[in-house]
Structures are given as structure tokens and as C-alpha cells.
Amino acid sequence: MAQTASAATVPTVLVVGDSLTAEYGLRRGSGWVALLQQRLDSEKVPGRMVNAGISADTTSGGRSRLPALLRQHKPAVVIIELGGNDALRGMPLSMTRDNLASMARLSREAGARVLLVGMEVPPNYGAKYTQEFRQVFKTVAQAEKIGLVPFLLAGVADLPDATATLFQSDRIHPNEMAQPTLAANVWPALRALLVKR
């Protein structure tokens, strides 16, 4: 009985994301979300990671899925890792921004703290678009007063020869070797949200 009560008090961390969250092309349990669970356990920070990543998801898809996920999991923290596929599909940046802001508000209204995980597009999208895309995440984080990890793939995508060593053969999705870096990029902000509850 005590064990059940204790389990109920462990805060849930809901991660709504795309293929980078969903462990696309990876062994199950080897992605950054699973590694964050291991880190929580090893550092004795109470938290239960829920991976709600779906490959190819966009901010529109995440916004549609979120209300049911909030009802089901009642998270203390929501991590939003979406936006990369919006760029690939040519969605207007205003739509990406509005969807992310809406997801942040829905999460806060459900009593959760929110961490937005930013993405960047390759340089071939052009300097102007690249800068505007990067700014979307900063704008939403500032306007909604939520946490921000500026770039999930920092220390991976920006390394020379990264495509040869840290990406799968499609040169889009990070491989298993890259996952600890992704987890490390998110960890400080996640830990801060859980510890200051």
C-alpha cells in the first residue's frame, strides 16, 4: 500500500515530440528520453518519463494530441520537442509559433511546468529562414514564460564530420552514440523544473 502511495507522488514528465523523441532507428530504450529516466534514477530525483514521441509529427499534430495526453498522464512537467518537421513541410513559421504557444498554455492550464526544446534547420534553408526559425522557439519561451533548451542537437549537429559518426545513414536522425549528448542538453533544465516543485 505504501508503495502505491509513493508511486502516485512521483511527478510525471510528458515528452511530446517527433522522431527524435520516438527513438526512430534506435534500439528501444536507448534514446535521450530513456537516458533521462536513467539519470533521474541515478541522481535520485523523483520523476517518471513518458515518451509520447511520434515519428514525422508536427506542431499541429502535437497540439491535437496534447489535451488527451494531459488528461491521461496528468504531468508535472511537459517537454515539447516539435518543429523540425514543420520546416521540412514548409509550414508557415507563424503556424509553428502559434501551435507551440498553444501547447505551452494548455500544459500550464493543466498545472504543468513547460520546457520547450528548440531545433535548427540546415544552412541550405538560407540564412534568413534559419535565423527566423531559431527565433520562433525563443519568442515562444519568452512570451509564455517557459523554459527553453535552445537546440536539442547542440554538440552533435554542429560538430565537424558529425554526419559520419553521430547520425544514422539518412543523415537526419542522430544515432545511438549521440543520444547521451541530447540527454545532457536537456538534463539541467529538466532537473531544475523537478527540483523546484
Structural domain range at position 142: 11-195
Chain segment 140-156, per-residue pLDDT in tens: 999 999 999 999 999 99
Active site residues: 19, 170, 173
Q: Tally the domains of the chain.
A: 1
Any domain includes 156: yes
Mean pLDDT value across residues 59-79: 99
Residue 6 belongs to some domain of the structure: no
Answer yes or no: is 127 within a domain: yes
Please say whether the beta carbons of 58 and 98 come within 8 A.
no
Question: 6 pLDDT exceeds 80?
Answer: no
Helix (H, G, I), strand (E, B) or coil at 19: coil
Judged against a pLDDT cut of 70, whether residue 113 lies above it is answered with yes
- Residue 4 has a pLDDT of 42
Q: Per the domain annotation, does 1 fall within a domain?
A: no
Average pLDDT of span 61-65: 99
Instruction: Report whether pLDDT(67) > 90.
Output: yes
Q: What is the pLDDT of residues 160-195, one digit of tens each?
A: 888 889 999 999 999 999 999 999 999 999 999 999
How far is 109 from 4, CA to CA, in rounded Å?
A: 27
Q: What is the pLDDT of residues 16-38, one digit of tens each?
A: 999 999 999 999 999 999 999 99
Crossing angle (nearest 10°) for helices 93-109 and 127-144: 20
Q: Is residue 2 part of a domain?
A: no
Which stretches of 4-131 are assigned E, i.e. beta strand?
12-17, 48-53, 77-81, 113-117
Arithmetic mean of pLDDT, 90-116? 98
CATH number at residue 144: 3.40.50.1110
- Count of other CB atoms within 10 angstroms of residue 47: 22
pLDDT at 8: 60
Longest CA span, the chain = 58
- Per-residue confidence band for 5, with pLDDT thresholds at 50, 70 and 90: very low
Q: Is residue 21 part of a domain?
A: yes
Residue at 177 is within a domain: yes
d(CA 86, CA 1): 46
The reported pLDDT for the residue numbered 1 is 39
pTM of the model: 0.95
5: in domain:
no
